[in-house]
Amino acid sequence: MRKQKENSLSLVLGLGNPGRKYENTRHNVGFLTVDALARTLDIQLKKRFLKPYIVGTSKKGAGSGMYTIIKPLTFMNRSGTILPHILNTSIYTVSDIILICDNMDLPPGEIRIKRKGSSAGHNGIKSVMEYASSGEFTRIYIGVGRPAQGISVVDHVLGIPEGDELESMLFGVASAAQALEAILSGADLSKVINEYNRRKGPDRSGQKESNGSL
């Protein structure tokens, strides 16, 4: 028998671009979430010899089953190229994938979890769907907002936010890591979706008022 329950196997796939210049860009929130999750779960991420990804796997019996967390090193537009090898040499299937990536339709700091869907124009998801031959996998979107007037989409997602926006983005990364931890611990996915999809980003409504009183 392959699976005993929905959450017994999970292949966590955080999307981003490799290299120092991309480390804290909006496009790399998937990488940042995987790093945060690995720290929380005490999972060591390693680069496998001649393999274009960084990977860490749970200890046997951890949580509700087995999980693997991965950062592709193929650049965002080719994220899916690692999947055939992984799916053909492991017990995971496409439905076990939990993909984490940025989303411009959400404000910074908010996350949305979906069981499946289209690529929504995201090139990383397009690549994963192409090589997985399916869109039947869970996604965790982290909001990075829309570019300001006069800024291209490419410059926006490859830019590094500052100030409140950076804090909001990191708040979203932390929320996504918490949601992932809950799923990997065996929480019901529907309950996790209901809880985290209702959450808003950090409340900054009092900041201007507070600053004005100084």
- Which residues are within 8 A (CB) of 114 and not within 5 positions of it... i.e. 6 or more apart? 138, 139, 141, 193
If 0-12 CB within 10 Å is exposed, 13-18 middle and 19+ buried, where does residue 27 land? buried
Tokens of 83: 């999947």
Which of the residues 27, 85, 122, 156 is marked catalytic?
A: 27
Catalytic residue at 27?
yes
Sequence-distant (6+) residues with CB within 8 A of 179 are 111, 113, 140, 192, 195, 196
Do residues 7 and 92 lie in contact, with contact meaning Cβ atoms separated by under 8 Å? no
Tally of CB atoms within 10 A around 113: 22
Query: Is 34 within 8 Å of 142 (Cβ atoms)?
Result: no
Which residues are known to be catalytic?
27
